[in-house]
Amino acid sequence: MIFADRFDAGRRLAEALQHLADRDPVVLALVRGGLPVAYEVAKALSAPLDVVLVRKIGAPSQPELAVGAVVDGAQPEIVSNPEIMAMLGLSQSYVEAEAKRQLVEIERRRAAYLRGRPPVDVRGRTAIVVDDGIATGATTRAALHAVRRRQPSRLVLAVPVAPADTLERLAADADEIVCLDRPEPFGAVGYFYGDFAQVSDQEVVDLLDRAHAEAGPEVR
């Protein structure tokens, strides 16, 4: 399955999530790439849109190799990948030190993206965590753990594409997983998009402003 772009993926994903429209949903995007997908989902479900700010903790010489991830919040959630850590000989202290550094960037993004808007309360509601795809699952697991602590009544992971084995590893972290395509072999998320250009900070701000204006006066 090839998606034209993230908006196309979001519209298709929304069709597979219609059974949640009457479950008091809140859509939570992993930014930046997940936001255009989540925007379309939130619009289709008439749900508020918010973000989950998560940063990958990369290996010292391979920043794209996920040693773990950190998510912001009152108590930041840190998830590590023991197999990668063992393979590279990295300690938990390295993960914690890198997490602190990434939290600085997370706070910068929160201030820039939300401009003072408080997080949408997901307590007792259906929280739908959306990304543009999943590779290893490290950042996704961190996001799910952080959202679970906010006590939604149901936690759903929704993505257009992901490898089957990664979804199997994430099965215990969500109450439901909705994924449109689980190709093998997988490769990389970008292989399944015609347009996979990086989403800019300004695009994030514009989409969140648009979603906030369209949602009206909801203040839950």
| Statement: residue 220 has pLDDT above 50 | no
Give the residue-averaged pLDDT of 102-116: 90
For the segment 133-167, what is each residue's pLDDT rounded down to a tens digit?
998 888 899 899 999 999 999 999 999 999 999 99
Coil, strand or helix at 214: helix
Confidence of residue 216 (pLDDT cuts 50, 70, 90): low
Report the half-sphere exposure of 183 (CA within 13 A, side-chain side).
Answer: 15
Give the residue-averaged pLDDT of 70-93: 87
Under 8 Å between Cβ of 147 and 122: yes
CB atoms within 10 A of CB 97: 11
* Lowest-confidence segment of 15-19, 39-43, 84-88 by average pLDDT: 84-88
| Statement: residue 113 has pLDDT above 50 | yes
Using CA atoms, how far apart are residues 34 and 68, in angstroms rounded to an integer? 19
Give the residue-averaged pLDDT of 17-35: 97
Q: How far is CA 158 from CA 12, 29, 136, 161, in A?
A: 11, 10, 15, 9
58: phi then psi, degrees, rounded to nearest 5: -90, 160
pTM recorded for the entire structure: 0.90
Using CA atoms, how far apart are residues 45 and 28, in angstroms rounded to an integer? 13
Q: How would you label 1-12 residue by residue, b for 16+ Cβ within 10 Å and e otherwise?
A: eebeebebbbbb
Counted residue by residue, the chain has a size of 220
pLDDT of residue 219: 41
Give the residue-averaged pLDDT of 24-47: 97
CB atoms within 10 A of CB 48: 22
Q: How far is CA 7 from CA 95, 130, 167, 183, in A?
A: 34, 12, 22, 20
Domain assignments of the chain as residue spans, ordered by start = 6-215
For the segment 167-191, what is each residue's pLDDT rounded down to a tens digit?
999 999 999 999 999 998 898 999 9
| Statement: residue 75 has pLDDT above 50 | yes
Q: How far is CA 124 from CA 127, 151, 172, 177, in A?
A: 9, 6, 20, 19
Percent of the chain residues topping a pLDDT of 90 = 72
User: What number does CATH give the domain 6-215?
Assistant: 3.40.50.2020
Average pLDDT taken over every residue of the chain: 92
pLDDT of residue 136: 80
pLDDT of residue 139: 85
Give the residue-averaged pLDDT of 56-71: 86
| Statement: residue 84 has pLDDT above 90 | no
